[in-house]
Amino acid sequence: MPVLGGWSLPEVSSRGRSATRWFDTETSTELPAKQGAGGSDPGMKRIRLAWDNCFARRNLTGTGVYAARLLEHLAGEPDLALESFDGWPNTLRGGSSSARRALQTAGNLAWTHLHLPARLWKRGFDLLHSPAFIAPLAAPCPVVITMHDITYLLYPSHFASWWIRYMKTVVPITVRSAAAIICGSEHSKRDIVKAYALSPGKVHVAPYGVDHQRFHPAATLDPSWARQAGIREGYVLHVGELSHRKNIPTLLRAVAYLRSLGKWGDRQLVLAGAKAPGMLGADEIHETIRQLELSESVILAGRVADEYLPGLYAQASLLVMPSLYEGFGFPVLESMASGTPVVASNVSSLPEVAGDAAILVSPDEVEGLANAMADVLGNPSVVAELRCKGLSRAQQFNWRRAAAETIQVYRSVAG
């Protein structure tokens, strides 16, 4: 099961066959209908839905989490006849890792823009949902695209140049030709509408969810795994890839500032995440740790296996998310559901997700971030208040609602 310093993606369809035939092989899985959350209208036609899982299943960030969790719930809806397409098998061998990655990406793009449209036409689907930005340039049926944010337009220097070239060349075409766009927040909707000059009615907000059966205050941290990772009680947590957008160097400077004031003690900052392909910033994080002499205070946990993440959230003293930009912000929501206090940026979609259940600060102010962290770490009453508000706020987000609102978009497009 592939994992991210945060989230893991369930195996929802076939992984393909032999790597030696990846240029002429695609995989798909028809997901059987079960009784869905909202029941089914017997007079309503089932939608034949194609789900493009090619890029979503390879994305180990929030995009992959969104696709995996939503697909789990859509697969149970009787109103849908859903078939998931995985694209090319992910089993290339030989050559350098960069060469394999480039070849795999090229094959995936060829599959998306050439092979997938042919299969859509041949099998007569009513609708295609592309949940990870990437969609065919042309398709024989209406296309719904999930766009989580426009980070690649706002911060192009944070990404590999080849990715920016692709996104700026192809995405404007696919976005304008799509029947509908889905995003997770009103903030993202405003950004998308403005960036691509779209009608607001074309962009639909369907807030994402959280798995309350997994993320809850009673979740325990596996002691063996914690010992192996070197994690001690009382740690402060950050969950997310090691990229520029996450603004981790500012968090590190806030820790150094608290240490200089004698307010950090022997606490640890646990960075749960790893370098993400196509995204820059990991080197700066490592260099900042070295310059500030924080190696004894920072745990680089890497990608955290899915089974350990709920306990990692629930047993943290505080989650800090000082991101420069987020289309949604899963760690804020998962922390609140776990009863863990949150300090987050007051920009992009984070205030929309957190509501009044977190302390929100400017991502540019080191001392402001440090003072907010100190307010939580040194005041049990603040912890209790944020915990209570966070648990209440998190209850407003669930995947059943996200699936229901997504199906409404399907109906508006497919009839």
pLDDT digits (tens, 9 = 90+) for 152-198: 899 888 887 877 888 899 999 999 999 999 999 999 999 999 999 99
pLDDT of residue 349: 95
Confidence of residue 306 (pLDDT cuts 50, 70, 90): confident
Q: Residue 359 carries which DSSP code?
A: E
Backbone torsion region of residue 339, taken as left when φ is above 0, otherwise alpha when ψ lies between -120 and 50, otherwise beta: left
**pLDDT class for 276, splitting at 50, 70, 90?**
confident
**pLDDT tier at 32, thresholds 50, 70, 90:** low
Residue 23 has pLDDT above 60, yes or no: no
Residue 398's SS3 state is coil
Dump pLDDT digits (tens) for 126-142: 999 999 888 889 899 99
pLDDT at 5: 33
Residue 134 tokens read as: 């990437």
Residue 147: closest CA among 210, 65, 85, 63: 63
In this predicted structure, the answer to whether residue 18 has a pLDDT above a threshold of 70 is no
The answer to whether residues 273 and 239 touch, using CB atoms and an 8 Å cutoff, is yes
Q: How confident is the model at residue 13 (pLDDT cuts 50, 70, 90)?
A: very low
Name which of 202-211, 228-237, 242-251, 268-277 the model is least confident about: 268-277
Q: Do β-strands 269-272 and 236-239 pair in parallel, antiparallel, or remain unpaired?
A: parallel
Residue 386: pLDDT band (50, 70, 90) is very high
**For 53, what's the count of Cα atoms within 13 Å in the CB-facing half-sphere?**
32
Instruction: Answer yes or no: is pLDDT of 346 > 80.
Output: yes
What gap in Å lies between CA 245 and CA 148, rounded to an integer? Answer: 14
Place of tokens 């059943």: 400
Distances, alpha carbon 173 to alpha carbons 132, 168, 183, 198, 280, in Å: 15, 9, 18, 12, 26
**55, pLDDT greater than 90:** no
Highest mean pLDDT among 50-59, 166-175, 306-315: 306-315
pTM for this model (two decimals): 0.83
Q: What is the mean pLDDT of the chain?
A: 86
pLDDT band at 264 (very low <50, low <70, confident <90, very high): very high
In order, the DSSP letters of 264-316 are STT--EEEE--PPTTB--HHHHHHHHHHTT-TTTEEE--SPPTTTHHHHHHT-
Dist. CA 404–CA 204, nearest whole Å? 13
Sign of CA dihedral 32, 34, 40, 43: positive
pLDDT band, very low/low/confident/very high, at 275 (cuts 50, 70, 90): confident
Q: DSSP string of 171-217?
A: HHHHHHH-SEEEES-HHHHHHHHHHHT--GGGEEE------TTTSST
Sign of the four-CA dihedral 8, 10, 13, 16:
positive
End-to-end CA distance of the chain: 36
Express each pLDDT in 65-109 by its tens digit: 898 899 999 988 898 999 988 866 665 555 556 566 666 667 677
Cα 245 to Cα 322: distance, rounded to the nearest angstrom: 9
Contact 128, 143 (CB under 8 A): yes
pLDDT at 25: 36
Of the candidates 358, 329, 301, 242, the residue with the CA atom closest to the CA atom of residue 66:
329
Which residues, 6+ apart, have CB-to-CB distance to 51 below 8 Å?
71, 74, 82, 83, 84, 85, 128, 129, 131
Report how far residue 16's alpha carbon sits from residue 27's, in angstroms, rounded to the nearest whole number. 5
Q: Distance (Å, rounded) from C-alpha 199 to C-alpha 203?
A: 7
pLDDT value of position 112: 81
Judged by average pLDDT, the poorest of 50-64, 198-212, 253-267, 386-400 is: 50-64
Identity of residue 309: L
Residue 28 scores a pLDDT above 60: no
| Contact assessment for residue 64 and residue 7, using Cβ atoms and an 8 Å cutoff | yes
Would you state the pLDDT for residue 60? 59
